[in-house]
């Protein structure tokens, strides 16, 4: 059983773990457990796996009426988690973080079923910290995670990512054809997640004319919430080299086309970009628990493997930051080389080996 979700940063590693296990052990039965109404309830079946939903929801940090229902949702979810475990009889349970992993791992641990936690971020989430005390193995994506977890059960594996981004060579021409890019122009790839990042979008909007005038082309994922607004503004501008997309599915082609990447610093994005090995400018989201995106980014900035541009400074400073890399070949090469050194291409395989080790 694999539990967790809420965001792509939890869901996609969970699916990657299942795919890697299935490749090695094709006769295995899987059951995912997610939170009702969250994106895993759609994404997991699309990947070919069964999923059950729990009514669990998060506890809001501010005083809200929704917090009154929290104890009831938690108790209902614990009851259903016990029932699912009793019926499915798993050999092991994997928790990837997010609301649903709490009740399921708690119920599994009370039954004596081996549990493995996969922590994607450089700053551990509360659910994973609590559950780790009785987990047999904790797989982490960053070194020096002993501040959050017991060292004797830690394995530094990295985050599992999709296979298609492992090999980008030879894909540039296909990328140019897919996105309408020109072979003789430097490409800036801008990513703000599937829903979008308002600050990043406004920063591109403000600087897009100057970017095009400098000879750059921009491949821009604006996200679902902002696409119509951004697309309309680009059309009004009359600019030809600003290619705005609601969502980019062919991420391997997008990465192959990029000379520089601007991105949020979610755990999965950071892990993917390590494998891609291109110069990166991280603009961490300030609206996440414990400011973990800044901590993710700083783990790379401290190794001279990325540039940090604060969310509060991004609007008005995007182009000058891009220029500082585009116009300095040595700096661009150093950033690309250093981020590649931090890649963990065998993460899924190492997590599978850790999981095999705890199953009786």
Question: Binding site annotation covers 274?
Answer: no
Q: Is 132 exposed, middle or buried (0-12, 13-18, 19+ CB in 10 A)?
A: buried
Sheet of strand 186-191, all strands in order from the earlier edge strand to the far edge: 242-245, 216-221, 186-191, 260-263, 280-282, 307-308
The helix, strand and coil proportions of the chain, stated in percent and rounded to the nearest 5, come to: 50, 15, 35
Residue 81 annotated as part of some ligand binding site: no
Cα separation, 141 vs 296, whole angstroms:
10
Q: Which of 127, 162, 166, 120 is nearest to 141 (CA)?
A: 120
222 is in an annotated binding site: no
Is there a binding annotation on residue 121? Answer: yes
- The C-alpha atoms of residue 301 and residue 75 are separated, in whole angstroms, by 42
Is residue 11 marked as binding? no
User: Angle at Cα 295 formed by Cα 67 and Cα 191, nearest 5°?
Assistant: 85
267 is in an annotated binding site: yes
Token pair listed for 256: 């192959």
**Positive/negative CA dihedral, 334, 338, 339, 341:** positive
Contact 85, 107 (CB under 8 A): yes
330 carries a ligand binding annotation: no
Contact indicator for 261, 273 with CB cutoff of 8 Å: yes
At residue 240, the 3 state secondary structure works out as: coil
Does residue 80 sit in helix, strand or coil? helix
CA dist 319 and 16 (Å) reads 35
Residue 224 marked in a binding site? no
Whether 263 has a binding-site annotation, put simply, is no
Establish whether 118 is an annotated binding residue. no
Residue burial 231-253, b: 16+ Cβ < 10 Å; e: rest: bebbeeeebebbbbbbebeebbb
Neighbours of 280 (CB within 10 A): 29
Residue 316: both structure tokens together? 């008005």
Which residue, 302, 297, 330, 351, is CA-closest to 161?
351
194 labeled binding residue:
yes
Q: Is 269 annotated as a binding residue?
A: yes
Binding-site annotation, residues for UDP-N-acetyl-alpha-D-glucosamine: 7-9, 121, 162, 194, 248, 267-272, 293
Binding-site annotation, residues: 7-9, 121, 162, 194, 248, 267-272, 293
């Amino acid at each position: 059983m694999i539990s967790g979700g809420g965001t792509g940063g939890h869901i996609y590693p969970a699916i990657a773990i299942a795919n890697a296990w299935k490749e090695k052990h094709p006769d295995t039965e899987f059951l995912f457990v997610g939170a009702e109404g969250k994106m895993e309830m759609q994404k997991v079946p699309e990947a070919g796996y069964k999923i059950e939903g729990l009514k669990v929801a998060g506890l809001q940090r501010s005083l809200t009426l929704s917090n009154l229902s929290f104890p009831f949702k938690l108790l209902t979810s614990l009851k259903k988690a016990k029932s699912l475990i009793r019926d499915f009889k798993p050999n092991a349970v994997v928790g990837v973080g997010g609301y649903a992993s709490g009740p399921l791992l708690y119920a599994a641990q009370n039954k004596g079923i081996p549990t493995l936690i996969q922590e994607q971020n450089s700053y551990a989430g509360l659910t994973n910290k609590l559950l780790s005390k009785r987990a047999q193995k904790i797989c982490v994506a960053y070194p020096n995670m002993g501040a959050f977890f017991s060292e004797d059960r830690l394995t530094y594996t990295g985050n599992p990512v999709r296979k298609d981004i492992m090999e980008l060579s030879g894909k540039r021409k296909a990328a140019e054809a897919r996105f309408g890019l020109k072979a003789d122009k430097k490409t800036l790839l801008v990513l703000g997640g599937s829903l979008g990042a308002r600050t990043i979008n406004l920063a591109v909007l403000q600087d897009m004319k100057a970017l095009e005038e400098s000879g750059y082309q921009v491949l821009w994922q604006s996200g679902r919430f902002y696409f119509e607004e951004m697309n309309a503004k680009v059309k009004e501008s009359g600019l030809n080299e600003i290619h705005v997309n609601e969502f980019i599915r062919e991420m391997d082609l997008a990465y192959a086309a990029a000379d520089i990447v601007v991105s949020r610093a979610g755990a999965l994005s950071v892990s993917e970009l390590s494998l891609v090995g291109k110069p990166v400018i991280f603009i961490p989201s300030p609206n996440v628990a414990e400011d973990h995106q800044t901590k993710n980014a700083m783990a790379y900035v401290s190794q001279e493997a990325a540039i940090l541009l604060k969310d509060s400074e991004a609007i008005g400073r995007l182009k000058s930051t891009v220029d500082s890399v585009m116009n300095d070949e040595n700096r661009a090469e150093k950033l690309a080389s250093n981020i590649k050194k931090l890649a963990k291409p065998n993460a899924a395989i190492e997590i599978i080996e850790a999981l095999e080790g705890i199953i009786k």
